[in-house]
């Protein structure tokens, strides 16, 4: 009976770990939704990367409108072609089918894809590890955070470094794609990216080691989908199999050339992605400019190590045990770890992006050490010692994700106006969507433009620091327009923007922005308690 029951206990342990990860990732958002005040709607953002959801809401709104390609609506420059994004197209089509709002589609798909990611992670771990204790340990480590939350009392105040470089701060407190558990609570495309990255490399491993065309073509298809919306992962998808070939050659004294044909579909997917994105950058100046603005750098190395936390320490002690085994899978894990580490350490435009995925092989290599520690505690302290150790381990492994969730709850209560918008704002957004044509430019202050664009998919002169082209030059124009009391000066600024409409809303009132009703040539065409839309006279 026990021999039959034991595997089930391990399976239920994995289910419990996955469920806990989903609760930690989604608990604060659920609380925020349930605490929505009367007459308002929860906009569904967290304190972690709060400016990202508006961009993705705008994608979903565009697809809801029947568009097959996406345009950057947070900038006024003309866009000759749209971007084909198969992930957002699929999510938007599902939202349209079930008549969900962009926010509902965003979060429902994020949770559902989260379940898929958990299954992919555990399936991948099972490929690399045969011991059930080690599988459960690796699964828990993969879904852990770093120790940044515990290190912050001893660190200098968080400092913004430079455009794209993020913060001089532990990365597990601000970089959502650095770990699956942060991605689970952030965006469906980050969840899908993790699942596709791990799934692609797992399928490629099966293809190479089992000489399987089915796994090879599946890896190629998964890679094509991943690279369609996250093309900067192509170096990882090339470096890992090439590293595996080199490691096998070095350690077995012969090159595993017979495996290379089965990796061809993966290489074709990478080549196809590079060709498509090179064409897109050549024909669309907006896409080219956005690509140049898309800079993701890492903070200094100590902040990275603190962000990786206990997993990095355990991997140092587990490496000897793991790599001493005879299974050929170990070379794939080693190649993955080496590729991700080298790409993340090399200074490049997408340096921080290459950190995504590192936690997976790191956790696999750390698992033997984690199990050794567990068994030592069992021998010394029995189940009481295990219980105490489990509490301490949870504090170490989940401290940062729980700290971010606690910050969410604090901000929802302390700054409700930033997270709960009045119903009249959504009525205004519906009016804008129905009365202003795509391509007609709306001038709005930064936060207003960001959220008006999110819910209307109508063009904003300036609405997002990363999505607005030449935002450094446009931002002062917008700030001067909404702070100046000189009607003539404001009229001159307005003319520079080429805007057809001007918005003044509740967020602008809260920021003490100067109403634009004294600017010559502005005609109010819509008004409610959330704001007023002005049309620029011909």
Check whether residue 359 and residue 478 sit in a common domain.
Answer: no
Per the CB < 8 A criterion, the answer to whether 77 and 285 are in contact is yes
Judged by average pLDDT, the poorest of 148-162, 417-431, 524-538 is 148-162
Q: What confidence tier does 389 reach under pLDDT thresholds 50, 70, 90?
A: confident
Looking at residue 5, its pLDDT comes to 46
Question: Rounded distance, CA 218 to CA 61, Å?
Answer: 31
Domain C-terminal end among 410, 431, 455: 410
Q: Which domain holds residue 467?
A: 420-536
Do 436 and 504 lie in one domain? The reply is yes
3-state secondary structure 442-480: EECCHHHHHHHHHHHCCCECECCCCCCCCHHHHHHHHHH
Assess if residue 490 is contained within a domain: yes
| Angle in degrees, CA 138, 358, 25, rounded to 5 | 65
Q: Kindly report the pTM of this predicted structure.
A: 0.95
Q: Are residues 344 and 461 in the same domain?
A: no
- Greatest mean pLDDT among 233-242, 300-309, 380-389: 233-242
What confidence category does residue 8 fall into, taking pLDDT thresholds of 50, 70 and 90? confident
Task: Please check whether residues 386 and 496 belong to one and the same domain.
Answer: no
Number of domains in the chain: 2
Angstrom distance (rounded) from CA 231 to CA 214: 24
Report the chain's C-alpha Rg in angstroms.
Answer: 25
- Condensed to tens digits (0 to 9), the pLDDT of residues 513-527 reads 999 999 999 999 999
Residue 183 has pLDDT above 90, yes or no: yes
Per-residue pLDDT band at 326 (split at 50, 70, 90) = confident
**Cβ neighbours for 185, distance < 8 A, ≥ 6 positions apart:** 24, 25, 26, 28, 29, 46, 48, 176, 401, 404, 405
From 378, 410, 442, the end of a domain falls on 410
Domain annotation covers residue 484: yes
**In a shared domain, residues 27 and 113:** yes
CB atoms within 10 A of CB 3: 6
Kindly state whether residues 210 and 241 are assigned to the same domain: yes
Q: Is residue 60 part of a domain?
A: no
Do 253 and 375 belong together in one domain? Answer: yes
Distance of CA 219 to the CA centre of its chain: 22
DSSP 412-431: HHH-GGGTEEEHHHHHHHHH
Are residues 391 and 425 both part of a single domain?
no
- For residue 443, what are the β-bridge partners? 502
State residue 294's pLDDT score.
Answer: 84
What is the helix (H) or strand (E) element at residue 402, kind and residue range? helix 359-414
Does the residue 253 lie in any domain?
yes
- Asked if residue 263 and residue 137 are part of one domain, the reply reads yes
Percent of the chain with pLDDT over 90: 83
Residues 202 and 332 in one domain: yes
Looking at the domain assignment, is residue 234 inside a domain? yes
| pLDDT on residue 336 | 98
Share of the chain above pLDDT 70, in %: 98
Mean residue pLDDT of the chain comes to: 94
Same structural domain, 475 and 333: no
How far, in Å, are 144, 185, 239 from residue 408 at the CA level?
19, 11, 38
Kindly indicate the confidence band of residue 87, based on its pLDDT and cuts at 50, 70 and 90.
very high
pLDDT tens for 24-56 read 999 999 999 999 999 999 999 999 999 999 999
Kindly state whether residue 71 falls inside one of the protein's structural domains. no
CA–CA dist 437, 465 (Å, integer):
24
Q: Are residues 144 and 270 in the same domain?
A: yes
Torsion sign across C-alpha atoms 365, 366, 368, 369: positive
Looking at the chain, how many residues does it have? 538
325 pLDDT higher than 90: no
- Residue range 465-486: mean pLDDT, rounded: 94
Query: Does residue 492 register a pLDDT over 90?
Result: yes
Domain presence at residue 80: no
Q: 345, 380, 410 — which closes off a domain? A: 410
76 found inside a domain: no
């Amino acid at each position: 009976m026990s021999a039959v029951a034991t595997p089930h206990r391990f399976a239920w342990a994995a289910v419990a770990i996955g469920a806990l990860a989903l609760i930690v990732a989604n608990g604060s958002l659920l609380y925020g939704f349930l605490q929505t005040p009367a007459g308002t709607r929860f906009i569904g953002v967290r304190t972690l990367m709060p400016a990202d959801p508006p961009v993705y809401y705008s994608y979903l709104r565009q697809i809801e409108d029947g568009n097959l390609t996406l345009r950057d609506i947070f900038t006024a420059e003309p866009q000759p072609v749209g971007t084909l994004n198969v992930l957002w197209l699929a999510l938007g089509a599902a939202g349209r089918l079930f008549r969900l709002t962009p926010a509902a589609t965003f979060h429902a798909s994020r949770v559902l894809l989260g379940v898929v990611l958990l299954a992919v992670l555990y399936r991948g771990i099972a490929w690399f590890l045969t011991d059930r204790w080690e599988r459960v340990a690796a699964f828990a480590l993969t879904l852990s955070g770093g120790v940044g939350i515990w290190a912050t009392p001893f660190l200098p105040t968080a400092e913004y470094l430079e455009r794209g470089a993020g913060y001089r701060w532990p990365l597990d407190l601000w970089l959502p794609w650095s770990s699956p558990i942060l991605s689970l609570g952030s965006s469906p495309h980050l969840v899908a990216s993790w699942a596709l990255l791990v799934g692609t490399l797992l399928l490629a491993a099966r293809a190479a080691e089992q000489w399987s065309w089915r796994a090879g073509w599946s890896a190629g298809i998964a890679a094509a989908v991943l690279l369609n919306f996250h093309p900067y992962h192509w170096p990882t998808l090339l470096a890992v199999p090439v590293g595996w070939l080199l490691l096998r050659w070095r350690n077995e004294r012969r090159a595993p050339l017979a495996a290379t044909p089965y990796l061809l579909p993966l290489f074709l997917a990478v080549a196809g992605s590079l060709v498509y994105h090179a064409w897109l950058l050549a024909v669309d100046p907006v896409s080219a400019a956005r690509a140049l603005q898309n800079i993701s750098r890492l903070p200094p190395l100590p902040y990275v190590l603190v962000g990786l936390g206990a997993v990095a320490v355990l991997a140092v002690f587990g490496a000897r045990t793991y790599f001493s085994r005879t299974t050929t899978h170990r070379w794939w894990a080693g190649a993955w770890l080496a590729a991700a580490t080298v790409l993340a350490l090399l200074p490049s435009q997408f340096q921080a992006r290459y950190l995504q995925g590192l936690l997976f092989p790191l956790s696999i290599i750390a698992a033997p050490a984690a199990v050794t520690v567990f068994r030592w505690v069992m021998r010394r302290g029995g189940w009481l010692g295990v219980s105490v150790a489990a509490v301490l381990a949870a504090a170490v492994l989940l401290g940062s994700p729980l700290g971010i969730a606690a910050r969410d709850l604090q901000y929802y209560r302390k700054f409700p106006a930033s997270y709960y918008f009045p119903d009249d704002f959504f009525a205004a957004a519906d009016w804008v969507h129905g009365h202003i044509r795509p391509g007609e430019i709306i001038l709005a202050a930064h936060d207003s433009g960001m959220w008006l664009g999110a819910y209307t998919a109508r063009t904003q002169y300036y609405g997002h620091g990363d999505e607005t082209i030449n935002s450094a030059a446009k931002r002062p124009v917008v700030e001067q327009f909404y702070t100046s009391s000189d009607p003539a000066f404001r009229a001159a600024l307005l003319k520079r923007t080429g805007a057809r409409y001007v918005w003044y809303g509740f967020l602008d009132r809260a920021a003490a922005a100067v109403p634009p009703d004294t600017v010559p040539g502005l005609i109010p065409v819509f008004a409610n308690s959330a704001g007023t839309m002005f049309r620029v006279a011909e």
